[in-house]
Homo-oligomer: A and B are copies of this chain.
Amino acid sequence: MKLSESEENHLKNIYNLQTDTSRVSTNSLAEVLNTSPASITDMLKKLKAKKLLDYKKYYGFKLNLLGKKEALKIIRRHRLWEHFLVTKLGMKWEKVHEIAEELEHVSSMELIERLDKFLGQPTIDPHGDPIPDENGNMPILNQIPISQLRINTKAVVSSIGNQTNEMMEMLNYYGLQIGDSLTVIKSFELDGSLLIKIARKQECIIAGLAAKNIFVYAN
């Protein structure tokens, strides 16, 4: 299916907003795409006509199977390029997103599959997100406690091991949630506590015991 750059951007962002259960609202998509709700409605009609979308006027929308497949192709391309930019060109992982936003629209199949091989068929991108395979399947990611995470490697919180009240209260206090990105800045040998930075938040110290119970996706 041949899609315009704009269509691809809409698909990708619908994918990121929707969950298994929930539909996406016009306003929320307009917000992330930085356009007007009216423009979103226009595009929804087009994507529905292309049979990529389950859309009912006034009741939100979500990708159907075909739409999801197309979205995953774009996400695959984006994450493979991010991986390339970091591991081959040595760019900082905070800076690669913007460039990958452009590269992801170059759609040659052969290019992407060769790039994949060249990178060693990675399953996780520099931001800790999984890279779908060429059939659109998201890899099942191994999880490790942040106590085993390499210093300065960004990772996404996947689960909490010991979900006691105390633990949850502490996480809440730090504002740490499943899905957050974090980086371990320093490990204190003395007691195993970690200095971490949660994306877009302040740095904080996590006690050694807690650190063994906060899991992140690992490759």
Interface residues of A, Cβ cutoff 8 Å to B = 85, 88-91, 95, 98-99, 102-103, 105-108, 110-111, 114-115, 118
Contacts and interface: CB of A to CB of B under 8 A. Distances in A.
Contacts of A106: 99, 102-103, 106
Contacts of A85: 111, 114
- Copies of this chain present: 2
13 contacts: A85-B111, A88-B118, A89-B111, A89-B114, A89-B118, A91-B114, A95-B110, A99-B106, A99-B108, A99-B110, A99-B111, A102-B106, A103-B106
A108 B114 CA distance: 22
Nearest to A106: B102
Contact of A110 (B91, B107, B111): B91
